[in-house]
């Protein structure tokens, strides 16, 4: 299992004159941390020059290429052994092990592999479509997401810690179940405008 930690970046590349560099106190072939005096640089660059946009950062680039090589970014489908190694380590050392249902088809096509890891799962995440597919595969006889969460939280578990199940439902309530406790999380902040001040 490969983990990547880094800063995702968006490079904006363009050929400019020396006057542009001087205007913003920049040097050729240099790297700086931008501050307030560079706030208008981005708008001017985009409006006056032919720009190329390159998503990257070393970590993101490495993981992108690795995904092309591996072809299957969902580890459950290629290495249940890796998942079980992490799961048993978490169990043996009193750490929290969480997992995501990831995609509806996994519950059906990779049921056996998923259920090998299931007893170790302390926190399970998923969306409403994945939850209903999981319920159908395991014959839970309900399509109610809250009821599914209650039932899934009681599936056999290695440790004595009660499993938490978190199911999202798009713009609807998030369902959180642990033991007999059921919580619904509501309220979505709808931003009409996102400024870029301070995000340089």
Per-residue pLDDT of the chain (200 residues; tens, 9 = 90+): 566 767 778 889 999 999 999 999 998 877 777 889 999 999 999 999 999 998 887 778 888 887 777 655 555 555 778 888 888 998 999 899 888 888 777 888 888 888 988 999 999 999 998 999 999 999 998 999 999 999 999 999 999 889 999 999 888 889 999 988 888 888 665 555 555 544 44
Residues 123 and 163 in one domain: yes
CB 42 within 8 A of CB 36: no
Same domain, 138 and 159: yes
The total domain count for the chain is 2
How far from each other are the two terminal CA atoms of the chain, in whole angstroms?
33
Query: 119 and 158 in contact (C-beta within 8 Å)?
Result: yes
Q: Are 17 and 107 in the same domain?
A: no
Name every residue whose Cβ is closer than 8 Å to that of residue 163 and which is 6 or more positions away in sequence: 121, 122, 123, 124, 152, 153, 154, 155, 157, 178
CATH code (residue 140): 3.40.1190.20
- Strand-pair partners of 169: 172
> Parallel, antiparallel, or unpaired for β 52-56 and 98-100?
unpaired
Are 93 and 163 within one domain? Answer: yes
């Amino acid at each position: 299992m490969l983990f990547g930690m880094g800063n995702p970046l968006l490079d904006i590349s363009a050929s400019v004159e020396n006057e542009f560099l001087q205007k913003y106190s920049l040097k050729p072939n240099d790297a700086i941390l931008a501050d307030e005096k560079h706030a208008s640089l981005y708008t001017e660059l985009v409006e006056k020059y032919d720009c190329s946009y390159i998503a990257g950062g070393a970590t993101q680039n490495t993981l992108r290429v690795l995904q092309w090589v591996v072809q299957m970014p969902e580890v459950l489908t290629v290495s249940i052994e890796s998942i079980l190694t992490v799961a048993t380590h978490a169990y043996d050392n009193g750490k929290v092990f969480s997992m995501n249902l990831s995609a509806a088809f996994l519950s059906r096509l990779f049921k056996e592999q998923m259920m090998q890891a299931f007893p170790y799962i302390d926190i399970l995440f998923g969306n409403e479509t994945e939850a209903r597919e999981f319920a159908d595969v395991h014959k839970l006889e309900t399509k109610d997401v809250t009821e599914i969460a209650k039932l899934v939280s009681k599936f056999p578990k290695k440790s004595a810690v009660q499993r938490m199940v978190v199911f999202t439902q798009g713009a609807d309530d998030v369902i959180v179940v642990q033991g007999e406790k059921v919580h619904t999380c509501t309220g979505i902040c709808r931003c009409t405008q996102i400024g870029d001040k301070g995000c340089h």
